[in-house]
Amino acid sequence: MAMLNLPLLGSDLTYYQIAFDAYKRHMYHEGFEDMWKDICGMFTFDDSKEDEICVLIVGPGKGENEIKVLNFVLKRHSSVYVRVIEPDKTAVSHFKEECDRLKKTHPNLRYEFFMNTFQEYIAKSRQSEDESKFHFVVCIASLYYMDDITDALEHLHIMIKSTGIIVSDMIDHTSSVGKLFIKQWEDETYPVTLQSGKGIKDVLQRKGWQFELKYRRAELDVSLLLDNEPEGTLVLDFIMHVVNFRHAAPKTYVDEIFSLIWQMVENVGDKKMLSANREVVVISK
Ligand SMILES: C[S@@+](CC[C@H](N)C(=O)[O-])C[C@H]1O[C@@H](n2cnc3c(N)ncnc32)[C@H](O)[C@@H]1O
């Protein structure tokens, strides 16, 4: 089959954020706070020898999750430096406003924004021979977008201090939504190629790096998607990473995706849910 010629979600960052907001509105998470509170205690920071905790955040979008993580970090120590890498301008200004608000109660919080993809950031820091090191690298649902996951992980690994950690929080590819993602990403005729948690683990195993896995439950309400409501269209577009997937894709492909969704869906009260569990990998040196 020839490569499908579809309008990609990533080519329209404004629509990307609108579709992602809809996806989040229908996503029900359990245990984000408890898990990330624990993770924030997993890197070493010695306040008798070091001035501030250094955090690198890749792909925070508007930063709703990341601001919670920063609050936990600020409980460990009042001086925190954060470097943020996010390519979307609107998302950057939103997250920056959140950081400005947090700084009012935490004056020793410092932050710097790079409006770039991580790939662009890597290229620039190699050119400038930037040797900054971080205690904690936070990648929540962002490593999907690395062209070369081995290169991205190698660069992150160089960027952490000897007792630092890199944390990636992604969809578990064995959950229903994860299976839907993987089905397309691994199909060579589909125009979207994204990384998965499985791909990350393969790299870590090849490299022999230490890592720990954590899981938490999440479910996506797909009732509106199956009822063909406009809000459901946004959720479907985010899952498929294609603008207006239902109308843009060939009917046979749309039917195949809907049949897969119907096979996996679970009725919970009057809602139709897909499991969308998260797999979190904590990488250390
Ligand atoms: C699924 S959203 C996750 C946002 C946020 N971390 C959260 O959990 O709500 C992915 C984010 O990664 C950003 N992104 C996309 N490609 C990227 C890249 N190559 N490098 C860094 N960030 C990227 C997008 O702009 C978007 O804000």
Task: Give me the half-sphere count of Cα atoms (radius 13 Å) on the Cβ side of residue 152.
Answer: 24
- pTM, two decimal places: 0.96
Name the residue at shortest CA distance from atom 16 of ligand 1: 145
State the DSSP H helix or E strand holding residue 160, giving kind and residue range, or none if neither.
strand 160-171
Structure token pair of residue 149 = 């996951």
Q: In whole angstroms, give the CA distance from residue 53 to residue 188.
A: 42
pLDDT tens per residue across span 34-55: 999 999 999 999 999 999 999 9
- Characterise 39 by phi-psi region: left (phi > 0), alpha (psi -120 to 50), beta (else): alpha
Per-residue pLDDT, 29? 92
Distance in Å, CA 120 to ligand 1 centroid:
14
Ligand 1 shell residues, CB under 6 Å: 20, 58-61, 64-65, 85-88, 91, 117-119, 140-142, 145
pLDDT score, position 2? 58
**Does residue 65 have a pLDDT over 60?**
yes
- Going by C-alpha positions, the residue among 207, 132, 136, 209 that lies closest to residue 168 is 136
Using the atom order of ligand 1, give the atom closest to the CA of residue 24.
Answer: 9
pLDDT band at 187 (very low <50, low <70, confident <90, very high): confident
Contact assessment for residue 139 and residue 195, using Cβ atoms and an 8 Å cutoff = no
Mutate to test the pocket of ligand 1, among 11, 142, 144, 195 (most ligand atoms within 8 A of CB): 142
Q: What are phi and psi of 259, to 5 degrees?
A: -65, -40
Residue 195 CB: number of other CB atoms within 10 A? Answer: 21
Residue nearest to atom 19 of ligand 1 (CA): 117
Domains and CATH numbers, the chain: 1-29+174-191+219-276 (no CATH), 31-171 (3.40.50.150)
Average pLDDT value for residue range 19-27:
97
90 pLDDT more than 60: yes
Burial zone of 104 (CB within 10 Å; 0-12 exposed, 13-18 middle, 19+ buried): exposed
The pLDDT tens digits for 233-284 are 999 999 999 999 999 999 999 999 999 999 999 999 999 999 999 999 999 9
Average pLDDT over residues 160-174: 97
Phi first, then psi, for residue 87 (nearest 5°) are -80, -20
pLDDT-derived band at 68, boundaries 50, 70, 90: very high
State the pairing for strand pair 210-216/134-140: unpaired
Within 8 A by CB and 6+ apart from 98, the residues are: 62, 63, 67
Q: Which two structure tokens, joined as six digits, stand for 194?
A: 């994204």
